[in-house]
Chain A
Amino acid sequence: MIKAVLVLNTEGKPRLAKFYQFQSVEKQHEAIRNVFSVLCCRPEHVSNFVDAESFFGPDSRLVYKHFATLYFMFIFDSSENELAMLDLIQVFVETLDKCFRNVCELDIVFNYSKMHTILDEIILGGQVLETSSNEVMKAIEEISRLESASNAINLVPKSVSGWRSR
């Protein structure tokens, strides 16, 4: 089971934080700070594993990938495979890349809601649901169209409707 998904930048600012086991806001941010203090000390070209028991309780491991200015990390228990989790980070990043075309930190900063929607199509309740970025893209595109249609309806003023009926 996946316990949390975090995306931090290289200054430790959270860009995405999703916890699948409830923790208070204070504890969440304490965990984020602790994780970052470990990651920022790790050099390049070393393994992407961190023991997360001191942050997330027993049976917790963390894998991360470092892309440009961002750290993507999954925290999970022994029901998950470490290399598979690294692959899943790759799927997540690939999906973001397809959505935003050459994704960078700014895209993530300004697309908070879309980020969560993408992640929700990959993981539900801490369980891996979809491992194909193409399938995720299909769902995201449908959701976007649905939202656009919903917003378009909202934009029609009532006065215009009244005029048309008259």
Chain B
Amino acid sequence: MAGSSIMENLFQRTLEDLIKGLRLQLIGESTFISNATEEIRREVKSTDQHTKSIALQKLSYLSAVHAVDMSWACFHVVEVMSSSKFAHKRIGYHAASQSFNDNTPVLLLITNQLRKDLSSTNHFEVSLALDLLSRIATLDLARDLTPEVFKLLSTARVFIRKKAIAVVLRVFDKYPDAVRVCFKRLVENLESSDPQVVTAVIGVFCELAAKDPGSYLPLAPEFYRILVDSKNNWVLIKVLKVFAKLAPLEPRLGKRIVEPVCDHMGRSGAKSLVFECVRTVLTSLSDYESAVKLAVEKVRELLVDQDPNLRYLGLQALSVATPEHLWAVIENKEAVVKSLSDDDSNIKIESLRLLMAMVSESHVADISRVLLNYALKSDPEFSNQILGSILTTCCRNVYEIVVDFDWYVSLLGEMAMIPNCQKGEEIETQLVDIGMRVKDARMQLVRVGRDLLIDPALLGNVHLHRILCAAAWIAGEYVEVAANPFELMDALLQPRTSLLPPSIRAVYINSAFKILIFCLDCYILQNEGSASWYSDNLAGGQSDLLSVKNDTEAAELATCEGSNDEQHEDFNPRNATESSEDLSVKNDIDRVATHGQASTPPTVLGKKNSMHESIVSLLNRIELIFGPLIANQDVEVLERAQNLLSLVQLIKEEIIDNLVQSVVDIANKKVTRVTAIINLLRDAFTTELGPVSTSAQGRIVVPDGLVLKENLDDLQAMCGDIELPSSSSFGTGVPHLTTTSDTSSSNLLKNEESGPLKESTSLIEHRKRHELYYLPSEKSEIVSDEYPPAKKDKKRANQTKPRLALVRLDDGDVAPISVKRPEPRDDSLSGAIKDVLLRSETGPCMSGSSRSKNHGHSHTKERRHRGKEKIVEGEEHDQREKKKSGHCRGRRKTHQRAKSPVNVVSHTPVIPDFLL
């Protein structure tokens, strides 16, 4: 056995051998690692402690550096941890700290080992145990080892005490009841004269205060003393962080600390401390003007420093100041703008955020100009960040800061032309959105859209396709404000539009359709005007007034015929007809204007011919460009192209026929079918589109008596059933109705009677089927009553429209953000700390012995108040006290007895005012 052990020891590869071997591998590293892992699996099972330890060390290395799994070795880790040799023990502890976690199955096995090592006389062994505990402590470990940690919190060995203090954070987190044992001693360490101890304990309080600052407010005097007296920058930084959390909770506290904070900010040569003071002032002492001004001065120094770290932190500090002290950002505007040119992307992004924070309606144009110039010369990534920031800021709260929409629309157009621009979707959305909301901006929108559409080079840029889509939509939708519709049509019919994806091509076709209808409508109006003129001429010198009258009569005739057609075809309900009449009245006004323009006698014929040629040319061009698309694979493109081409064919036939007719015949010719179709389409396109609220669907009221089922299985049954079962189903629903049974029976009978009469029509049958299922016939009457209110709403909207430059929906455009309530915090730690603090403040103690007694005494009293179950525990404490007092002298006994009334009085849970 001894020989075998020596053999393993002498020939085992060490960690250094492993590392050397790895470094020699050029392409076989993974194989080498696999082989090494297998070797380790064998070695780690050795009964020789040294062999096992070295194997474990190698495994730890491979796990940390080469992602090798080592969870399978947890039992061997426990064995090595228990070695009596420090070198081996250290290897075991390191492996445990690296691989153990809450789910490690052998954690229970190490409790006693940790307890033993925590009590070791070798303080490096204690150190190993504390380090491991700080990394892997579970509830069980924390509970079982709290007594050991408690002892170490007051050990004379500073090397150990500072580590025990740091471990407390993890212990409190896992086992909040440990507060009752250790918190008081933790607080005592705040008064230590050793800087290492104070560094550790203030670090713990910084972490604790970050989670639950209110609990540590009673300790403010201790923190204040450290703030004033300490010379250690690390300690001061931590205590400043603590106060940054406490000050907002207690106004008087801020008042007390503002002076020492300003002292440190003004005098300290350490940049880290100065920056922490600045941050504390700007976050938690922002009400103190002089402190803020000093902080802003320090920020300015940071902004111009050569060190990019300091410049970046200076910008960060301004970001913190922005909500309450925007003036500080504006005051440093030059430095912020200059930072846009920095080499450091961190600095550029931060300065961009600050600039957007400065934006207001008075200088959004100036800042956007500056930013656009930077976007032109920046790298693609930052350029797009600039554009994104401008877009986000300007459209915030429905374009709140935009006053001049013509300017903003032009800006969007310029953004689109910036090289590397990848914000096409957002620009598209905003262009369309503004068109729907801001009527006065439509002319500028069409201009910008035109400039984008007519440039054939843009069609090859995929990043611009979405913007071109918006431009096309705008050109079609608002063609009536366009200077030259034919130019727009030429743009939409460019051969290079074949480079566009189908979805955008479809929009181009649809817009071409709209513009064509507009052009044809103008053409028809011009013809009618010409006819009127010829009539006047034939009559031998009629006045203009008579011409206007004739035009009006013609309009009325057209309106009557339109109504007749609509009634005949029976497509539209009465409301639609009324709406159409309103629109016709508006169009009459347009026609009069058109007539005025075309009334010059000498040029009428020439202009007519020119218009005619333009229309014919346009129709031919449409056929040329869109003809091939009727074979397109995309159904959207195919169908729109087919629709448009069919209309073009109809119109061409009509127009060609007109060429062979005499002027007189035209004057007497009745309105043709094609003209009627064009009028219909024009009316359809004239309906104005507005923004849709995100909650619009929710505003539709569910009809009375309609029960919306979550489970739609009935639909399947209904679809499969014949008519009679549906009727039965309806009959079953009768008892649920709130109306009288007599009325219900009557309706049911009525439906049954009407059934046979309408059975022949599938459409009628479909309606009946759905009515039977969704709505009783009596309910449809109620539904019809709701039409007038909708109509009134529409009229009201129309009336108010001219007064508003921007359309905003009453209930807001943005979907309401559901505010999530913060999850209830685990209050066990907070409660424990408050409990301990209240008791610890029950009065100063004259001696250690007295303190101990008082502690027990108040403890006992409080437990009695908590309830019957605590009596047993209270009695235990009484016995313990009795035993202790047996050792005291007579005089001390008297003294303690005299103290009792004070304890009773101070038991009242009043938080003393430490700051006054």
A68: Cβ under 8 A from any B Cβ:
no
- Given A28-B67, A84-B272: A113 and B57 interface contact (C-beta under 8 Å): yes
- On chain B, which size bracket covers the interface? 35 or more
- Given A112-B61, A125-B170: A157 and B204 interface contact (C-beta under 8 Å): no
- For residue B203, which residues in chain A have a CB less than 8 angstroms away from its CB? 127-128
Closest to A146 in B: B86
- Whether A43 contacts B343 by the Cβ 8 Å rule is yes
- For residue B134, which residues in chain A have a CB less than 8 angstroms away from its CB? 124-127
A98: Cβ under 8 A from any B Cβ:
no
Complex CA distance for A14 and B68, rounded to whole angstroms: 13
Min distance, Cβ A127 to any Cβ of chain B, angstroms: 5
Min distance, Cβ A49 to any Cβ of chain B, angstroms: 6
Contact indicator per residue, chain B 87-110, by CB within 8 Å of chain A (1) or not (0): 110110010000001100000000
Min distance, Cβ B824 to any Cβ of chain A, angstroms: 19
Q: Which of A17-49 contact B (CB under 8 A)?
A: 17-18, 20, 22, 25-26, 28-29, 43, 45-49
B6: Cβ under 8 A from any A Cβ:
yes
Q: Which of A125-153 contact B (CB under 8 A)?
A: 125-131, 135, 139, 142-143, 146-147, 150-151, 153
Among B88, B163, B344, point to the contact of A46 (Cβ < 8 A).
B344
Complex CA distance for A116 and B94, rounded to whole angstroms: 8
Complex CA distance for A138 and B162, rounded to whole angstroms: 16
Complex CA distance for A129 and B346, rounded to whole angstroms: 30
- Whether B308 contacts A45 by the Cβ 8 Å rule is yes
B15: Cβ under 8 A from any A Cβ:
yes
Q: Is the interface of B mostly helix, strand, loop or mixed?
A: helix
- For residue A118, which residues in chain B have a CB less than 8 angstroms away from its CB? none
- Given A1-B207, A28-B67, A127-B169: A113 and B94 interface contact (C-beta under 8 Å): yes
A69: Cβ under 8 A from any B Cβ:
no
- Whether B67 contacts A26 by the Cβ 8 Å rule is yes
Min distance, Cβ B134 to any Cβ of chain A, angstroms: 3
- Given A45-B343, A112-B61, A129-B200: A25 and B69 interface contact (C-beta under 8 Å): yes
Min distance, Cβ A155 to any Cβ of chain B, angstroms: 9
- Given A25-B68, A154-B85: A125 and B135 interface contact (C-beta under 8 Å): yes
Complex CA distance for A139 and B199, rounded to whole angstroms: 18
Min distance, Cβ A59 to any Cβ of chain B, angstroms: 10
- Whether B313 contacts A82 by the Cβ 8 Å rule is yes
- For residue B271, which residues in chain A have a CB less than 8 angstroms away from its CB? 83
- For residue B163, which residues in chain A have a CB less than 8 angstroms away from its CB? 124, 129
B632: Cβ under 8 A from any A Cβ:
no
Q: Which of B124-174 contact A (CB under 8 A)?
A: 124, 127, 130-131, 134-136, 159, 162-163, 166-167, 169-170
- For residue A87, which residues in chain B have a CB less than 8 angstroms away from its CB? 272
B508: Cβ under 8 A from any A Cβ:
no
Complex CA distance for A86 and B271, rounded to whole angstroms: 11
Closest to A59 in B: B210
B472: Cβ under 8 A from any A Cβ:
no
- For residue B272, which residues in chain A have a CB less than 8 angstroms away from its CB? 81-84, 87
Q: Which of A89-134 contact B (CB under 8 A)?
A: 109-110, 112-113, 116-117, 120, 124-131
Among B136, B206, B313, point to the contact of A83 (Cβ < 8 A).
B313
- For residue A16, which residues in chain B have a CB less than 8 angstroms away from its CB? 64
Complex CA distance for A28 and B21, rounded to whole angstroms: 24
- Whether A125 contacts B167 by the Cβ 8 Å rule is yes
Complex CA distance for A62 and B134, rounded to whole angstroms: 22
- Whether B130 contacts A124 by the Cβ 8 Å rule is yes
Complex CA distance for A154 and B52, rounded to whole angstroms: 14
- Whether B85 contacts A153 by the Cβ 8 Å rule is yes
Complex CA distance for A20 and B343, rounded to whole angstroms: 33
A165: Cβ under 8 A from any B Cβ:
no
Tell me how many residues of A have a C-beta within 8 Å of chain B. Answer: 56
- For residue A47, which residues in chain B have a CB less than 8 angstroms away from its CB? 308-309, 311-312, 344, 346-347
Complex CA distance for A1 and B271, rounded to whole angstroms: 20
Complex CA distance for A113 and B346, rounded to whole angstroms: 36
Among A49, A78, A128, A154, point to the contact of B50 (Cβ < 8 A).
A154
B196: Cβ under 8 A from any A Cβ:
yes
- Whether B275 contacts A79 by the Cβ 8 Å rule is no
Contact indicator per residue, chain B 273-299, by CB within 8 Å of chain A (1) or not (0): 001100000000000000000000000
- Whether B167 contacts A124 by the Cβ 8 Å rule is yes
Contact indicator per residue, chain B 33-73, by CB within 8 Å of chain A (1) or not (0): 00000000000000000100000010001011101111000
- For residue B204, which residues in chain A have a CB less than 8 angstroms away from its CB? 127
- Whether A158 contacts B64 by the Cβ 8 Å rule is no
Q: Which of B517-563 contact A (CB under 8 A)?
A: none
A15: Cβ under 8 A from any B Cβ:
yes
Complex CA distance for A16 and B346, rounded to whole angstroms: 26
- Whether A49 contacts B64 by the Cβ 8 Å rule is no
- For residue B136, which residues in chain A have a CB less than 8 angstroms away from its CB? 22
Complex CA distance for A139 and B57, rounded to whole angstroms: 21
Complex CA distance for A74 and B124, rounded to whole angstroms: 25
- Whether A110 contacts B19 by the Cβ 8 Å rule is yes
Interface centre among B169, B203, B210, B343 (most CB of A within 10 A): B203
B338: Cβ under 8 A from any A Cβ:
no
- Whether B85 contacts A29 by the Cβ 8 Å rule is no
- Given A20-B135, A116-B94, A151-B87: A79 and B206 interface contact (C-beta under 8 Å): yes
- Given A22-B101, A45-B343, A79-B206: A29 and B199 interface contact (C-beta under 8 Å): no
- Whether B6 contacts A127 by the Cβ 8 Å rule is no
Complex CA distance for A153 and B233, rounded to whole angstroms: 44
B345: Cβ under 8 A from any A Cβ:
yes
Complex CA distance for A45 and B307, rounded to whole angstroms: 8
- Whether B210 contacts A159 by the Cβ 8 Å rule is no
Complex CA distance for A125 and B241, rounded to whole angstroms: 19
Min distance, Cβ B25 to any Cβ of chain A, angstroms: 13
- Whether A124 contacts B166 by the Cβ 8 Å rule is yes
Closest to A128 in B: B203
- Whether A29 contacts B87 by the Cβ 8 Å rule is no
Min distance, Cβ B709 to any Cβ of chain A, angstroms: 42
Closest to A139 in B: B159
- Whether A49 contacts B346 by the Cβ 8 Å rule is yes
- For residue A127, which residues in chain B have a CB less than 8 angstroms away from its CB? 134, 166, 169, 200, 203-204, 207
- For residue A86, which residues in chain B have a CB less than 8 angstroms away from its CB? 309
- Whether B94 contacts A125 by the Cβ 8 Å rule is no
Complex CA distance for A14 and B210, rounded to whole angstroms: 32
Q: Which of A57-77 contact B (CB under 8 A)?
A: none
Q: Which of B164-217 contact A (CB under 8 A)?
A: 166-167, 169-170, 196, 199-200, 203-204, 206-207, 210
Complex CA distance for A142 and B275, rounded to whole angstroms: 37
Closest to B346 in A: A47
- For residue B162, which residues in chain A have a CB less than 8 angstroms away from its CB? 129-130
Complex CA distance for A47 and B314, rounded to whole angstroms: 12
Complex CA distance for A135 and B134, rounded to whole angstroms: 21
Complex CA distance for A148 and B635, rounded to whole angstroms: 82
- Given A113-B94, A143-B124: A25 and B308 interface contact (C-beta under 8 Å): no
- For residue B94, which residues in chain A have a CB less than 8 angstroms away from its CB? 113, 116
Closest to B22 in A: A109
Interface centre among A25, A109, A128 (most CB of B within 10 A): A25
B334: Cβ under 8 A from any A Cβ:
no
Among A46, A109, A135, point to the contact of B308 (Cβ < 8 A).
A46
Complex CA distance for A159 and B1, rounded to whole angstroms: 12
**What are 8 sample pairs from A and B whose C-beta atoms fall under 8 A apart?**
A46-B308, A46-B345, A82-B275, A120-B127, A127-B169, A130-B162, A154-B87, A159-B2
Q: Which residues of B contact A (CB under 8 A)?
A: 2, 6, 15-16, 19, 23, 50, 57, 61, 63-65, 67-70, 85-88, 90-91, 94, 101-102, 122, 124, 127, 130-131, 134-136, 159, 162-163, 166-167, 169-170, 196, 199-200, 203-204, 206-207, 210, 233-234, 237, 241, 271-272, 275-276, 308-309, 311-313, 343-347
Of all A-B residue pairs in the complex, the 6 with the closest CB atoms, nearest first, are A125-B134, A83-B272, A46-B344, A47-B308, A47-B312, A22-B101
Q: Contacts A84-B272, A120-B127, A146-B124 known; list 14 others, CB within 8 Å.
A: A15-B65, A25-B70, A26-B67, A47-B309, A81-B275, A83-B309, A84-B234, A84-B237, A112-B15, A113-B15, A117-B90, A120-B131, A129-B166, A153-B85
